[in-house]
Amino acid sequence: MLEPAVARLLAEGEQHIVLAGAGGWLGLATLDLLEKALGDRLDARVSCYGSAARTLTLQSGRQVVQAPLTELPKLQAQRIWLFHFAFLTKDRAETLSEEAYRAANDAISATVLTAARALPVEALFVASSGAVTKIDDPQASPAMRLYGEMKLADERRFAAWAEESGRRAVIGRIFNITGPYINKHAAYAIANFILDALAQRPIAVRAPREVFRAYVAIRELVSLILAMMAAEASGVVHFDTGGTVLELGAVAAAVAEALGGAGVERAAVTEAVADRYAGDGAAYAALLAHYGITPVPLDVQIHETAGFLRGRHS
């Protein structure tokens, strides 16, 4: 559920919520939260767009129609709040040529930008990535650096839109999140850990270096985004997701404790250079406090994510 005050703000408002990239993890989780806040008014208050026309199915069983992203500029609605989740992520940068990857993301961003300019968009959220901080990191993979470079270009593109139009842009660099609709389970350590614990297998942490991560719940993040979109009529605001920074061995131990797992097997640390992928936790905590958003503790995040994964892997 969204933060109660945010859910009330949304339910009592008149904004039309647009999800560009509705079929991905962020999009589906946001749509689910909007359903809980809006109920029977969901279809009237929310429009979904993605790479192709299809039907999205929520945990409740509700089905929502997703239109092709190319149809977005034709939307007939007023007072739009636009969530820009549409983007080919790092895994696609690993499989496509650099030229194809750049072209695909440039086309997506151009479509969303055209819509933002043509439609009565009051506020827009850009789902950026912590990968922006890895652009010049020699330890990062070429795919991570390319992904980060293109996310930074997106940040700048939509910040310029807000400044030129006198509207509101909220730009969030997302590092590590948890919660329902988590996908690409092999790519996310915490999903792997939870699946091991649910199967009563020892949680295996194989990284030969220290790996530091910090997690926030998707419902906490979306509550913050909505509060920030509502706070001001214009201007650009940037933030990083935060959370408590933990080494993966400690994350695995937290998962095992929360779910009653079969323990943790941590490989020996043999490499000196650590892998850190986390935002400014103090600044993020201050934002949550400022907007009255209650932080979701890690054990609760684990249970909420496990509840979703249990249904998918039972």
pLDDT in tens, 193-237: 999 999 999 999 999 999 999 999 999 999 999 999 999 889 999
Residue 138: exposure state from Cβ atoms within 10 A (0-12, 13-18, ≥19)? exposed
> pTM value?
0.96
- Nearest CA-CA partner of 20 in 154, 132, 133: 154
pLDDT of residue 214: 98
pLDDT of residue 95: 93
Question: In the structure encoding, which two tokens stand for residue 262, read together?
Answer: 């079969």
pLDDT of residue 56: 98
pLDDT at 310 over 70: yes
pLDDT at 41 over 70: yes
**Crossing angle, helix 218-231 and helix 4-12, to 10 degrees?**
50
pLDDT in tens, 106-148: 999 999 999 999 999 999 999 999 999 999 999 999 999 999 9
Contacts of 19 (CB under 8 A, 6+ apart): 27, 30, 31, 46, 47, 48, 49, 83, 85
pLDDT of residue 314: 52
pLDDT at 98 over 70: yes
Average pLDDT of the chain to the nearest whole number? 96
Q: Domains of the chain (ranges plus CATH)?
A: 4-178+216-242+278-295 (3.40.50.720)
pLDDT at 186 over 90: no
pLDDT of residue 313: 54
Region for residue 117 given its phi and psi (left: phi exceeds 0; alpha: psi -120 to 50; beta: otherwise):
alpha
| CA distance linking residue 10 with residue 46, whole number of Å | 11
**Crossing angle, helix 248-259 and helix 298-313, to 10 degrees?**
70
